[in-house]
Amino acid sequence: MNAVVSRPRANVNAARLERRIADLAAVTDPQFPWSRTAFSPLHREGRVWLAREMASLGLSTAIDAGANLIGRLRGQRPELAPMATGSHSDTVPSGGRFDGAAGILVALEALHAMRDAGIELNHTLEIIDFLAEEPNQYGLSCIGSRAMVGALTAADLQRTAPDGTTLSEGMASMGGDPDGLDMPLRTQGDLSVFVELHIEQGRVLESGGLDIGVVTDIVGIRRLEVRMMGRADHSGATPMIMRADALAGAAEIIVGFERRAEAEKLAPLVATVGKLNVIPNAANVVPGQVDFTLEVRAATEAAIIGYLADVTGEMQSIAERRGLKLAAEMAGTNLPVKMSLMVQSAIAGAAEALGLRHQAMPSGAGHDAAFVARLCPVGMIFVPSKDGRSHCPEEYTSPSQLAAGAQVLLTTLLHLDTTLTRDAQLRNAQ
């Protein structure tokens, strides 16, 4: 079989893609659009719809032990390791319609356009909906992609949600098989390449008048779960001097986090406390306990570790001065990951051939691709986010921007199918 075949032109259909985005977005908590949080009945409902759409395009569908939904379209050369694309269908609470969903639905559209044009790939193609890419009630992100590469530990599986269920039970509720996770589900060579399209979730593309981002690396992320323990007291009868106010202490510490992040010169670093719980959270009780999560992101582990060393020292001295007790635990680490140069050049070549304005850029957001990179060469395609907004209902990417991204993904997959087939033939000929 000659790897370099002249193929008919395949054109994505922007209206069809827009319809699928709207159909999946409609699976949301109506009170808090757009919410389809991981492990929820809505998440499961969205996956039933996705599996049906995959089947309608001739893909076989299955849920692997890591509760990843995988659609497969057999290639003409099934002996070649499959190519893969996809993203995640879970959202943050009151998130957007595009974060994750765009990557899966654009992949479906690219496949639909190939089918319309009568194009068959040499490689089997997998479209993957990774389980729980977003941080969730088990306090861990990228759960399905961690499971796939063997990065989910036995301790992780015993993490419990506020409702008392373990992550193992949560994964089983999504069709996974936690007992089958003592080994990686996939190892090097099981996939030939993974390309993920995602919204940028920042302002670089829009402010630069660009159509496509070619991702060079994915930021490292560490999350620290902190518990401040003071003493609950009557808010009226307790003099200020006699208080051990956990929330006032947390507030002083959190402002310190912000100051230290702004002062970081080594590498761009961001620090966020987006989740905070006050106990007992009553207007007339001095807060006795505060739980919060500090999230730190930077391009290098060194910058993250240096920042955390500084702020944990500062946290201790503030707690002592205020008579508070402090407990802190690292909750999951995503190492920074470089994208494959081969895949980056395939994406840039596709954008160039399509006359699209493109630029290489890092990702400040975490992605499943960061874990899949342990299996095979990976790359990411970014499309613009309006006003750089994401993780909120205002998140928006226009149908034409999504269609441009879909055409780039389609062109990239066709190019990789040809070049990787030729590489395999050359290896076999040796």
Q: Which spans of this chain sit near ligand HGY (rule: CB under 6 A)?
A: 99, 133-134, 141, 365-366
Could you say which of ligand HGY, Mn ion, none residue 170 binds, taking C-beta under 5 to 8 angstroms by partner kind? Answer: none
For residue 422, count other CB atoms closer than 10 A to its CB: 14
- CB-based contacts of 186: which residues, under 8 Å, 6+ apart? 148, 149, 375
- H or E segment at 382? strand 378-383
Stretch that binds Mn ion, among 95-103, 261-269, 271-279, 332-340 (CB under 5 A): 95-103
Could you say which of ligand HGY, Mn ion, none residue 366 binds, taking C-beta under 5 to 8 angstroms by partner kind? Answer: ligand HGY
Q: How far is the CB of 103 from Mn ion (least distance, A)?
A: 8
> Which of these, 429, 237, 219, 245, lies nearest to 322 by C-alpha position?
245
Alpha carbon 194 to its chain's center: 14
Q: How far is the CB of 416 from Mn ion (least distance, A)?
A: 22
Q: Which residue, 38 or 80, is less far from ligand HGY as judged by CB?
A: 38
Distance CA 356, CA 346 (A): 14
- The single-letter DSSP state of residue 169 is H
Q: How far is the CB of 95 from Mn ion (least distance, A)?
A: 7
Q: How far is the CB of 142 from ligand HGY (least distance, A)?
A: 8
CA dihedral 288, 290, 291, 295 (to 10 degrees): -160
Could you say which of ligand HGY, Mn ion, none residue 405 binds, taking C-beta under 5 to 8 angstroms by partner kind? Answer: none
Burial track 103-132 (b if 16+ CB lie within 10 A, e otherwise): bbbbbbbbbbbbeeeebebbbbbbbbbbbb
> Which of these, 247, 255, 210, lies nearest to 230 by C-alpha position?
247
Could you say which of ligand HGY, Mn ion, none residue 66 binds, taking C-beta under 5 to 8 angstroms by partner kind? Answer: none
Instruction: State yes or no: residue 99 binds Mn ion (CB under 5 A).
Output: yes
Q: Which residue, 99 or 129, is less far from ligand HGY as judged by CB?
A: 99
> Which of these, 189, 110, 208, lies nearest to 404 by C-alpha position?
110
The dihedral sign for the CA sequence 156, 159, 161, 162? negative
Q: Which residue, 53 or 368, is less far from Mn ion as judged by CB?
A: 368
Alpha carbon 144 to its chain's center: 10
Angle, to 10 degrees, between the axis of helix 301-321 and the axis of helix 246-262?
A: 150
Q: Which residue, 75 or 100, is less far from Mn ion as judged by CB?
A: 100
Stretch that binds Mn ion, among 32-40, 50-58, 92-100, 350-358 (CB under 5 A): 92-100
Stretch that binds Mn ion, among 65-73, 76-84, 94-102, 188-196 (CB under 5 A): 94-102
Q: Which residue, 202 or 288, is less far from Mn ion as judged by CB?
A: 202
Q: Which residue, 8 or 274, is less far from ligand HGY as judged by CB?
A: 274
Question: Which residue's beta carbon is nearest to the bound ligand HGY?
Answer: 365
Q: Which residue, 199 or 410, is less far from ligand HGY as judged by CB?
A: 199
Q: Which residue, 80 or 221, is less far from ligand HGY as judged by CB?
A: 221
Q: Which residue, 10 or 140, is less far from Mn ion as judged by CB?
A: 140
Stretch that binds Mn ion, among 50-58, 96-104, 141-149, 182-190 (CB under 5 A): 96-104
Could you say which of ligand HGY, Mn ion, none residue 246 binds, taking C-beta under 5 to 8 angstroms by partner kind? Answer: none
Q: Which residue, 141 or 407, is less far from ligand HGY as judged by CB?
A: 141
Q: How far is the CB of 314 from ligand HGY (least distance, A)?
A: 25
Please report, as a single letter, which amino acid is at residue 66. Answer: G
Residue 129 near residue 368, CB atoms below 8 Å: no
Distance CA 412, CA 220 (A): 26
| Cα angle value 16/368/15 (rounded, 5°) | 5
Q: How far is the CB of 232 from ligand HGY (least distance, A)?
A: 33
Q: How far is the CB of 392 from ligand HGY (least distance, A)?
A: 12
Residue 324 near residue 230, CB atoms below 8 Å: yes
Burial track 368-397 (b if 16+ CB lie within 10 A, e otherwise): bbbbbbbbbbbbbbbbbbbeebbbeeebbb
- Which of 46, 100, 144, 230 lies at the binding interface for Mn ion (CB under 5 A)? 100
Instruction: State yes or no: residue 103 binds Mn ion (CB under 5 A).
Output: no
Could you say which of Mn ion, ligand HGY, none residue 202 binds, taking C-beta under 5 to 8 angstroms by partner kind? Answer: none
- Count how many Cα atoms sit within 13 Å of the Cα of residue 383 in the half-sphere of its side chain: 26
Could you say which of ligand HGY, Mn ion, none residue 196 binds, taking C-beta under 5 to 8 angstroms by partner kind? Answer: none
Could you say which of Mn ion, ligand HGY, none residue 143 binds, taking C-beta under 5 to 8 angstroms by partner kind? Answer: none
Residues that bind Mn ion (CB under 5 A): 99-100
